[in-house]
Amino acid sequence: MAAGIDDIAIYIPKLYVDATDFAVARGLDPVKLQKGLGISQMAIVDANQDPAILAANACLKIMQKNKLSPDDIGRLYVSTESSFDESKAMNSYVIGMLEQVYGQDTFEHCGGVETKFACVSGSYALYDNTNWIRAGEAEGKCALVVVSDIAKYDMGSSGEMTQGAGAVAMLLNDDPRLLVFDPKVTSTSIKDEYDFYRPFGKETPIVHGQYSNLLYMIQVRKALEAYKRKAVSTGLIKIGADETVLDHVDYINMHLPYSNMGRKALAYLVRHEWRQLPRWKKVLQKIGSEEPVPNDPQGTIESVLGDEEFMTKDHEFTKMFTKTPEYQEVYEAKLASSLIASSMIGNLYTASLYLGFRSSLEFEFQKRVDLEGKRVGFGSYGSGSSAMVFSGVIQPRYKEIVEGMDLEAEIGKRRRLTWDEYEKLHENKLSPDESMLQPTKEFALVHVKTETESRGERHYIFTE
Ligand code: CAA
């Protein structure tokens, strides 16, 4: 049985920090954010918002748009790494909010859990729910997978410039208008790592930034190797001489902690794939040098990062490589459109990859590309760490969904925060009733109880 994504909806907080304001306040060169990292704005949550609200707002949008009732939904999964409870799953908060609109107990039949594995857990949730449908367990119902996060780092840390917030809701069924997942090729890699983690009780993560960048690329490369093996052995893709698996994937969506990480990761994967091919010689001729090799080629990630001579040469080589027409062609055709939304919104952790997919659909469609039958690849990464590589094919009825996409209209009118406002929100100095914006037709947080017996209970309302 086929299964995949029928429709996709986003909810992005309307407050944002402008990259230039951020750079000025932190004494950085604005070009580092804009060109170095690809960040223009970072969405920031208001004082009356939390990750469950972002998820519920995205769910409500997709349900209203498709005129779905709770009876149409068999499973509701929420994937997040911004969880605020160690036991109560975020999907239960979301169901509580949705029942304010659809009526008490209307989601009683709807199973689901909150999933966690840093930024990759949404991909595991998609895979599990796709298999629930493929197994014929859905009884004609759809699954809702919502990825929702607030990417928040310590004040003054190097991660602070890669913040953002938002949720993406994806509706899955057995006759999707948008994308059918390719069967039997989903591939993973996993390793116990401390590149980025958030211990109990800490609101912001502990991050080893450069380590996490390199680990991300290594893990996705390993998952891609497994994907390639499966794609060939199942007959999904036939790789000819002087070809790589990437030649058979029309669009590539990467996990985007910041927009340029997609560019960086694609360059790393393409280099890895092209190295064995005749075309590599031509590329090396254009660059004018051999590919640098670490002083200890069998070394650890730490030893590679500590090998300054290699890192400098490799940085230079990557820069030259990404300027070659061969790489530029791949970048423009397969990746560039997926990066646009990320630069406007910032890091969405679990939701970043899917915001990128949404962005690619809208901006490729605007270029009048016929997307039907195109294969879309996904490179998902979660710190800690695991990667997942999988793919799907765009369906004949995709236009019903994609022609209505308008990122700016979906975000709505945004408000640029002053530095003082940003700091107050970041330091949680405002209570929900001191929010910057008055929500309309959205869920909002009213109160979090502090009494011993009910500590942590959250009270939400839907505002008309
Ligand atoms: N003008 C133009 N470009 C400039 C510049 C300037 N003045 N200054 C720096 N740059 C460029 C650099 O050359 C670099 O480009 P390349 O990536 O092409 O080399 C880029 O801007 C970033 O500069 P640095 O690498 O020096 O930046 P940094 O070390 O200060 O911080 C970061 C970058 C490590 C990503 C940091 O923001 C961070 O720790 N972020 C959080 C962790 C993260 O996002 N990790 C990503 C992988 S892990 C993951 O994906 C999980 C997750 O979601 C968090």
In whole angstroms, how far apart are CA 37 and each of 17, 98, 260?
A: 15, 37, 5
pLDDT digits (tens, 9 = 90+) for 393-418: 999 999 999 999 999 999 999 999 99
User: So what's the pLDDT on residue 437?
Assistant: 98
Instruction: Show the tokens assigned to 226.
Output: 């497994």
pLDDT digits (tens, 9 = 90+) for 22-55: 999 999 999 999 999 999 999 999 999 999 999 9
% pLDDT > 70, the chain:
100
User: So what's the pLDDT on residue 9?
Assistant: 98
pLDDT digits (tens, 9 = 90+) for 348-360: 999 999 999 999 9
User: So what's the pLDDT on residue 336?
Assistant: 98
> Is residue 188 a contact partner of residue 208, using CB atoms and an 8 Å limit?
no
Instruction: Show the tokens assigned to 348.
Output: 């969405």
User: So what's the pLDDT on residue 8?
Assistant: 98
Q: Is 456 left (phi over 0), alpha (psi -120 to 50) or beta?
A: left
User: So what's the pLDDT on residue 97?
Assistant: 98
Judging by DSSP bridges, how do beta strands 386-394 and 164-173 pair with one another?
A: unpaired
248 vs 277: CA distance, rounded Å:
15
224 vs 221: CA distance, rounded Å:
5
How does residue 265 score in pLDDT terms, banded at 50, 70 and 90?
very high
Rounded to an integer, the average pLDDT of 310-329 is 96
User: So what's the pLDDT on residue 195?
Assistant: 97
Residues at CB less than 6 angstroms from ligand 1:
29, 31-32, 35-37, 118-119, 158-159, 161-162, 196, 207, 209-210, 212-213, 216, 255, 257, 261, 264, 315, 347, 349, 381, 383
- Distance between Cα 388 and ligand 1 center (Å): 22
The DSSP call for residue 119 is: B
| Burial class (CB within 10 angstroms; exposed 0-12, middle 13-18, buried 19+) of 409 | exposed
Taking the model in full, what pTM does it have? 0.97
Neighbours of 295 (CB within 10 A): 13
Can you list the alpha helix ranges (DSSP code H) found in 19-155? 19-26, 30-31, 51-65, 90-102, 121-134
Q: Which of 127, 109, 108, 125 is nearest to 117 (CA)?
A: 125
% pLDDT > 90, the chain:
99
